[in-house]
């Protein structure tokens, strides 16, 4: 039953995303990624993106395997949506790429409580903020000791 429900939600989003024929039904406006193509075919990502990132998380967090192809940071780096001032919007903004369908499909994800929802070129997101300040403290201490 759960499976059927999931397929129905996915189907309706995919259908609405790929057609503008539903004049009266508001369909999600999905911002385009900032490149020629996604890390997997678009159709595949529409339906299975969560499998890729959750798998990537397990590979990294539990097995220590860190590859770039399905990296969460890369998703955010390429799927940036800018506001009128040219600043990348974060997950609190309805225009954020990940919200474009989720708001519509009433999907809630907690990922951005820790992960950055805007591009992080060099700096890490909040997931690392705690440990980074520790590293800085330690570095400052050892500098003082010299
Ligand atoms: C290098 C740039 C790039 C990266 C990295 C990237 N994408 Fe994409 N993504 C794209 C492009 C371009 C499209 C196609 C948009 C289109 O065809 O309108 C796309 C399409 C998608 C779609 C379907 C959107 C739609 O229009 O239905 C989803 C969902 C998606 N990506 C999620 C992800 C996730 C999750 C990640 C990280 C694992 C990721 N992408 C990484 C560029 C990227
Ligand atoms: C093309 C529309 C679309 C886009 C764009 C999109 N999602 Fe989704 N996402 C969905 C749908 C629909 C579901 C619900 C599927 C289901 O019911 O299992 C979902 C589910 C998820 C889930 C699983 C949630 C759960 O509780 O099981 C995660 C994680 C997720 N998306 C992450 C992302 C991230 C991160 C982005 C932005 C990089 C993103 N999605 C962009 C349509 C989209
Ligand atoms: C409680 C904080 C927290 C939450 C919530 C959380 N993560 Fe993470 N995540 C981490 C930490 C810490 C790491 C390991 C450090 C790193 O690699 O950035 C990590 C690593 C990852 C990685 C591997 C590294 C990368 O950038 O690809 C992925 C993928 C990932 N998480 C996806 C998710 C997704 C998808 C969600 C939401 C369904 C989520 N995380 C929710 C803290 C969190």
CA angle, 29 then 45 then 24, to 5°: 30
79 lines ligand 1 (CB under 6 A): yes
Q: How many angstroms does the Cα of residue 12 sit away from the middle of ligand 2?
A: 13
Q: What are the tens digits of pLDDT across the range 71-121?
A: 999 999 999 999 999 999 999 999 999 999 999 999 999 999 999 999 975
Residue 133 reports pLDDT greater than 60: no
- pLDDT in the model for residue 30: 94
pTM exceeding 0.75 = yes
Q: Whose CA is nearest to atom 13 of ligand 2?
A: 107
- For residue 42, the CA-to-ligand 2 centroid distance in Å is 13
Q: What single string gives the DSSP state of each residue in 13-54?
A: HHHHHH----SSS-----PPPSSS--SS-HHHHHHHHHHHHH
Residue 61 exposed, middle or buried by CB count within 10 Å (0-12, 13-18, 19+): exposed
Q: Is 111 in the pocket of ligand 3 (CB under 6 A)?
A: yes
Radius of gyration, alpha carbons of the chain: 19
Residues 79 and 31 sit within 8 Å (Cβ to Cβ): yes
Query: Quick check: helix, strand or coil at residue 2?
Result: helix
Ligand 1 within 6 A of 38 CB? yes
Alpha carbon distance 70, 53 (integer Å): 6
């Amino acid at each position: 039953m759960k499976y059927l429900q999931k397929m129905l939600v996915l189907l309706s989003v995919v259908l609405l995303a790929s057609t503008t024929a539903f004049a009266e039904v508001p369909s999600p406006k999905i911002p385009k990624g900032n490149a020629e193509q996604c890390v997997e075919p678009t159709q595949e990502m529409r339906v299975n993106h969560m499998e890729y990132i959750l798998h990537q998380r397990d590979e990294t967090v539990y097995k220590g395997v860190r590859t770039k192809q399905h990296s969460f940071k890369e998703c955010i780096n390429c799927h940036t949506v800018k506001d009128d001032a040219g600043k990348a919007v974060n997950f609190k903004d309805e225009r954020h790429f990940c919200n474009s369908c989720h708001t519509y499909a009433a999907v809630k994800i907690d990922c951005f409580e820790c992960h950055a929802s805007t591009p992080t070129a060099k700096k890490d997101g909040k997931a690392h903020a705690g440990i980074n300040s520790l590293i800085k403290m330690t570095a400052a201490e050892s500098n003082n000791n010299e």
